[in-house]
Structure 1
Amino acid sequence: MRSEPPVLRAGLAVLLLVPVAVLAAFVSAGWEPMRAFDRGVTARLHEVAHDVPALTTVMTWLTNLFQPNVFRLAALVLVIWLARHGARRTATWVAVTMIAGGVLGGLLKLLFGRGRPEFLDPVSSAVGYAFPSGHALNSAMAVTIAVILFPRWWALWLIPLLTALSRVYLGVHWTSDVVAGLLLGAAVPLLTARAFVPARAAVPVNQL
């Protein structure tokens, strides 16, 4: 795990949580400018989804490949690997982060109860409430954990971005849902790392 001051991570987490709180307030209040933006983006992408079926197939493949359970399984593999290499505190951090973030995302969905986009001719479907996006949240959490542990893997952040795009493209989430999911997913590991960060690197990265 990287050794920058825990306070720095906590400060960055707060900066990420501010726009999440703003988006949550807008969703709760039904702020019309944001709703109009969401509807406009979703409507345009829905047209593209019907006009370019090959791209729709790719987006469907991406959204299925990068579903939350895939990242949970990857986190479990990482937890086992860390524990076997003696980094039990870091392994605990990974497990706690993924569980806490998942529970938080589910509670927020219930709290806001935001409906998903609806179309007469949908190209995809999803169940449950929309805000925040669980796909975006879980992918961002897992990748942020990976980047904290292995900084050279920063390019992995392309995965949450593509995941978020696929959800809006397929018409199962609003843009504000996935933005909130990405920001919250990045913030949660930074906050939990505040409690688990060791004085020295806990991960034997040279063994990868």
Structure 2
Amino acid sequence: MHQSPVESPERAPAPSVAARAAAVLAVCSVLLLVLVAMRWHPLIGVDGDISRTTHHWAVHETGLTHTFRILTDWVWDPLTMRLVIAAAVVWLVWRRSAWWTALWLAAAVTVGALLQQGLKAAVDRPRPVWRDPVDSAHYASFPSGHAMTATIVCGLLLWLLHRYGPGRALWRTALAVALVSVLGVGLTRVWLGVHWSSDVLGGWLLGATVVALTVAVHRRLQP
């Protein structure tokens, strides 16, 4: 008697690299968030030591401090970063065939901004306070909005650029600018005494999580 072959069950598609990276980054972000919310003593101690040291340098190195204020208030400011994204969205719309990616890019940055403000309100962490401040900032401290926005914007733009196959020189230049921007903005926020070091770390982790998650969504849902 002829027997029909037994059909093997369909396997679910394996998660992409972006999805796996998003999961790992999300776990790290949540862990840091819990430690900050609990005011874990070792973390608070490290934050305090770093902030006192960098603030001492900032008070005495006035020229470098002034340069950092220009960079953080104008070059790496979240508004500047979002204007860069707006320009990229306009360019994608102008291409006509990339309208879905333009919508995705705008939505990704919006989600990042909403997540950032929501966490600031939920954690409500006080900023460092100094008798001789060199700069000031508003809203709660965790996560660093500058660090998170720079990470999201630079990460998304690098991914988009890679999709369009840039030349080696352009890619290396873009990668260098992105790394300097993301690392530099974090340094300036701690140096200027308006964020704890864990605020910046949280901004980097959360920003990278948003990038990885939205890239995974784009790969799965792109028409």
Compute the TM-score of the two structures, normalised by the length of structure 2.
0.84
Q: 1:194 aligns with which of 216, 219, 223?
A: 216
Match of 1:154 among 171, 175, 188: 175
Q: Is the 8 A contact 1:116 1:130 kept in 2?
A: yes
CA drift of 1:83 comes to 1.0
The answer to whether structure 1 residue 140 and structure 2 residue 151 are counterparts is yes
* Number of residue pairs aligned between Structure 1 and Structure 2: 197
The aligned runs of 1:147-186 (5 Å cut-off) are 147-151=158-162, 152=171, 153-155=174-176, 156-186=178-208
**Could you tell me which residue of structure 1 aligns to residue 37 of structure 2?**
28
RMSD across aligned positions (CA) = 1.7
Gaps of 5+ in 1: 203-208
Runs (4+) of structure 1 moved beyond 4 Å? none
In structure 2, what residue type is equivalent to 1:113?
Answer: D
Partner SS, residue 16 of structure 2 = helix
- Equivalence for 1:121: 132
- C-alpha separation between the residues in 1 aligned to 2:203 and 2:32? 11
- Could you say if the C-alpha distance between residues 6 and 57 of structure 1 is closer, same or farther in structure 2, counting changes exceeding 3 Å? farther
The question of 1:50 aligning with 2:59 is answered yes
Match among 78, 83, 106 for residue 73 of structure 1? 83
Q: Using the alignment, how far apart are the partners of 2:132 and 2:30 within structure 1?
A: 33
Structure 2 equivalent of residue 92 of structure 1: 103
Q: Distance in 2 between matches of 1:197 and 1:70?
A: 27
CA distance in 2, matches of 1:198, 1:179: 29
Amino acid at match of 1:170: L
**Equivalent position amino acid for 2:89 in 1:** V
Instruction: Identify unmatched segments of 5+ residues in structure 2.
Output: 1-13, 163-170
Describe the SS at the equivalent of 2:82. Answer: helix
8 Å CA contact 1:93–1:193 kept in 2: the answer is no
Output the amino acid matched with 2:99. R
Tell me the distance in 2 between the aligned counterparts of 1:175 and 1:146: 25
